[in-house]
A and B are shown apart, each in its own frame.
Chain A
């Protein structure tokens, strides 16, 4: 999957699963500060990523994610090495 496709699918997940406004979502946006996603919401997003991209995200890698772009990076790295 191309990086751009990952970003598009990730954006859809953020809208559908976490109820975010599509216009607010940028790759630089910080989940907790900019998007008002609480820490449990980030955990839920990671679960959704695992389900939708069919990847495994270990807790120690998940803990480092603070922005939308970092989440896309992680999925990209899992899928494309």
Chain B
């Protein structure tokens, strides 16, 4: 690995699941971590404590990343406390699954706001600092649902596919300034979000996965950590699928 420079990293939705694994991994790489959360203060405090116990630096910053004012406030908060955000991980996401025939407009709008508008808002808010520093890493969490589709997840899949288009476009806009923009598309990963689907769904999913099991949050985090690193300096506009061979 290249020599590590300590950077300021913001992980949205970083208190639990994949986000927390990403926060811990980036902290392990020597970066200072801002863990964004919206409601679970206890989980955020636990994530901060875990990083500090391991000798790292972390703060928790509250705010709804789908809301412009909240985003501007939280980015400023991170800047005041740690410095300009140099690594942004757009991880915050929710599901409001339903068959399209039954999907209410709120279920569509909530998912779009939290999963896609947040990516636009947070990326725009950190852009100025990254342009000034002539260095930046933006890594957004897409999903296999956004690559292959998934019944009952038209809203989620649309938002996650939107992230891929956003990633390619922004990569082209700011590539000349030393800022890379990439996405990671996890498959079935063992988190609260997939646990909510039930054991039957998990078992059925595992049968379709080449590696025969659900993934771990840490296995997604390692891909994010790589894209956020100096080592990935020549990779931009890409979506790395981390799904244990789901589509093979």
Residues of A with Cβ closer than 8 Å to B?
38, 40, 43-44, 47
Contacts and interface: CB of A to CB of B under 8 A. Distances in A.
11 contacts: A38-B176, A40-B131, A40-B173, A40-B174, A40-B176, A40-B177, A43-B131, A44-B131, A47-B128, A47-B131, A47-B132
Interface residues of B, number: 7
A6 to B, nearest CB: 22
A66 to B, nearest CB: 20
Given A38-B176, A40-B131, 9 more contacts: A40-B173, A40-B174, A40-B176, A40-B177, A43-B131, A44-B131, A47-B128, A47-B131, A47-B132
State the main secondary structure of chain A at its contact with B.
helix
Contacts of B131: 40, 43-44, 47
Contacts, number: 11
Nearest to A47: B128
A53 to B, nearest CB: 16
Nearest to A39: B173
Interface string B165-176: 000000001101
Contacts of A40: 131, 173-174, 176-177
B134 to A, nearest CB: 10
Interface in B164-223: 173-174, 176-177
Nearest to B132: A47
Interface in B121-147: 128, 131-132
Nearest to A43: B131
Interface string B108-131: 000000000000000000001001
